Amino acid sequence: MPDFLWNLLSFVVALGLLVTVHEFGHFWVARKNGILVKRFSIGFGKTLFSWRDKQGTEFVIAAIPLGGYVRMLDGRVDPVLPQFADLAFDSKTVPQRMAVIAAGPVANFLFAIFALMLMYLIGVPSLRPVVAEVAPDSIAARAYVPNQQIIAVNGETVQDWQGVQLLLLEQIGRDSVTLTLADDIDSPGADVQLDLTGWKFDPEHDSVFGSLGIVPVQARPLLEVGQVQPNSPAAAAGLQLDDKLRVLEGVALTDWASMVKVIQNSPGKTLTLLIERGGQPMTLSVTPASQQTADGFHQGFLGVSPKVKPVDPQYIRTLQYGPLEAVWQGVQKTWQLVRLSFSMVGKLIFGDVSVKHLSGPISIAQGAGSSADLGLIAFLSFLALISVNLGVVNLLPLPILDGGHLMYLVVELIRGKPVSERAQELGFKFGALVLLTLMGIALLNDISRL
């Protein structure tokens, strides 16, 4: 199946599932509070399939799978006959209405816990967070980070590199972070404080670890050609599988990253590359093509991938737990993701994170497709992440979102009367403007990354 179709299918499956979970939260709590749900729709636009249950709810699958909604009986919107007045949303107490509104995001968080629990029941392959080396003149080097295992970040225990990454991302915009390192998880650790005042992290060009100068123990690219893309500059230059790369522009190559840096800085420039093929030296001329990055710069592209040295088995572990511990791990990981998501929203508002890093439907579709390619564990992890993000975004205090409705209900609870219809209307327009602006920026970012 072509990548585009696979990504689209994975995206529709993921979004359809998560929207169903979200809307089911609203639906279930509404029913429990005696509210008539008129329609439960997955998708927008033309109805493809529909059916009605005994309680009068119409269930709909619509043509545009980019969301969904639950429509409840509401006297502010529909004329309600006196005998049905008690079934209307607006007839319920403020706490009841708040419960219905909050149920959607809560359902997303519960689904994330469930997905992560399944992962830990099955077993999650991971790498112990052992520091292989520290880049010279980096933040980590100035803090004298040793080649040991990171066992905690700011006092929170970590078991793999993903856990380290989540906690480090929370530190963007802060002055420092404390890493606890030891020979292994059961050994007493020593704290090392990293000064983050000069930390510049750009996810378009570097990993969070690379930006700090931390090199994890991981699979390593070798200076050997593992793959040459057809019709690429590498193919045109005559590079072949198993070629060993020795010298580029008169400078001996020490690692794959150093070669990539030279290539990226040389778009359209002819370079001299000394290789070894079958034990014999050979000189090639390579001319990197120019490709545009997400921020508008042009960099060189060769179209060659390295052979990879696998990780030493001593650093590989499988995180697998029994049912109760798997649930607890799911709760902990979901809380980390929720906390990080709210933290990133704050950093976006205060300028610590650029809007150019927002991702839209194209990036999400690509993430869905690539995670589905990697198997069930990766896809469950992707679903958990997107489910948490969906829950957090819906809790933002924009009147068009669940968080905005909750904000109005809090005001009503304090004042003893609802917010005026005029104020609500203005709020909805403002919320729609903000949301559409952010969605537009995210979509433009997606297009620029293609």
Active-site residue list: 23
- In the sheet with 176-182, reading across from the earlier edge strand, the strands are 156-157, 149-153, 176-182, 190-195
* Continuous segment of H or E residues that includes residue 260: helix 256-264
Q: Within 13 Å of residue 245, how many CA atoms lie on the same side as its CB? A: 30
Query: Cα(63)–Cα(48) distance, rounded to whole angstroms?
Result: 6
Tokens representing residue 180 in the block: 């606890």
Is residue 353 within 8 Å of residue 438, measured between CB atoms? no
CA angle 341, 344, 350 (to 5 degrees): 150
* Beta pairing partners, 273: 248, 284
Q: What is the CA radius of gyration of the chain?
A: 26
CB 308 within 8 A of CB 219: yes
Cβ–Cβ under 8 Å, residues 213 and 140: yes
> Could you say which DSSP state residue 313 is in?
G
CA distances from 361 to 66, 134, 289, 332, 346 (A): 9, 36, 28, 28, 22
Query: Strand pairing partners for 72?
Result: 37
Do 301 and 291 meet the contact criterion of CB atoms below 8 Å apart? Answer: yes
Helix (H, G, I), strand (E, B) or coil at 225: strand
In angstroms, how far is CA 304 from the centroid of its own chain? 27
How many residues are recorded in the chain?
A: 450
Q: Is the dihedral of CA 352, 358, 364, 366 positive or negative?
A: negative
230: Cβ–Cβ under 8 A, 6 or more apart, which residues?
none
